[in-house]
Homo-oligomer: A and B are copies of this chain.
């Protein structure tokens, strides 16, 4: 199952007239920061660069903002951005009102940052020399870079160590927010797993994603603390991005068979929690996010023959086609016979995880590659930070992972080092705060 990154297709609207962004809401990041100074036309930079290349005489700028408000949070069906910074926080306070207050400030900050604006631009003290700046500043001058921020709650937010409800959330824990079981071969590090609140920030610019996590962390000071934090990279050069399925660190195309983000019927069936599919009405419009940090033993992989690699994956390395033939998007023919058993081995990754083996369940995968230095044993600490959004992990993740960990030949080259399951909050409309459906319920 570790497929990366998703091949969602709904790109944000691409081109509009200069100034569209500025009109949205008050000061842009750049305008705020340059109000004391140079005040050059920063927002038009992209426009001018493109105009230069294109020989256009009228400046147009790329709109790279993702809508924040809506029935669902952004960052799920949003076209996968290039970079990810995901962090989990533990709430250090027992105070329900403090938690709600933080969620309100987070909501305001996310609404601003995703539109390319400074955090706290509305704050009268924002420019005071005697106060810390309301925005940490490292994303000033940068565009929104398609930033999306997606918030979810872990099981531990609802139930404390001794089984006692926290924050007055008695009876609000969804049945589906289970503790994920131990899977064969797991080597889970607790310090990289779980957590009360997860925040997935994705953007085409790493500094913008990092800026988002950092500013939420800053706003949460005294209420939450970072439990773990992971950066990742996905897509590729802009020059080759639109046409290609990305390759994972095993060198194979990955994400070919992913659930497409514009297929509403399949999303309702496999991703979005509906009123009728949950015991907790507050979850309607939400989803569940599975995170698994999957170390890939690239050194071992790199020393295995091409034949072995293709048999493990069940696809041709160069083209991504199933071993049964066709092209990248052809359906695998698991019945096709070869000289020694099926052409696509039964223990190949594609055979083990194919929806036909799992009652047709699908997930929306949205993982990112990671490289976290080396491991002290002369090997790179690299792999996939697996992220999937599903309607219910009990039906849509656990059986697949059980099959993979016990049957998939690829497991030999993988090690799962973290695990997380989070209830992704429903989207909100203007005036609401993230989590309001829960706390008002």
Contact = CB atoms under 8 A, between A and B. Distances in A.
For chain A, the bracket of interface size reads 35 or more
B218 A302 contact: yes
Contacts of A229: 371, 373-374, 380-381
A55 interface: yes
A36 B316 CA distance: 9
Nearest to A130: B305
Contact of A252 (B128, B132, B137): B137
A392 interface: no
A252 to B, nearest CB: 7
28 contacts: A33-B317, A37-B321, A38-B319, A46-B240, A50-B53, A53-B53, A53-B54, A64-B237, A64-B239, A129-B310, A132-B306, A133-B306, A138-B249, A140-B247, A142-B236, A143-B237, A204-B237, A206-B233, A206-B371, A207-B247, A210-B369, A217-B299, A217-B380, A218-B299, A218-B303, A226-B379, A238-B238, A372-B373
B87 A191 contact: no
Contact of A244 (B45, B246, B249): B45
Given A34-B319, A35-B318, A226-B379, 12 more contacts: A36-B318, A37-B321, A46-B237, A46-B240, A49-B238, A136-B298, A141-B247, A226-B380, A228-B374, A229-B371, A229-B373, A231-B372
Interface of A: 15, 33-38, 40, 42, 45-46, 49-50, 53-56, 61-62, 64, 83, 85, 87, 127-133, 135-143, 145, 191-192, 204-208, 210, 213-214, 217-218, 221, 225-231, 233, 236-240, 242-244, 246-252, 298-299, 301-307, 309-310, 316-319, 321, 327-328, 369, 371-374, 376, 378-382
B138 A37 contact: no
Given A64-B239, A379-B226, A380-B229, A207 B369 contact: yes
A382 B210 contact: yes
B378 A226 contact: yes
Contacts of A228: 373-374
Contact of A302 (B132, B307, B318): B132
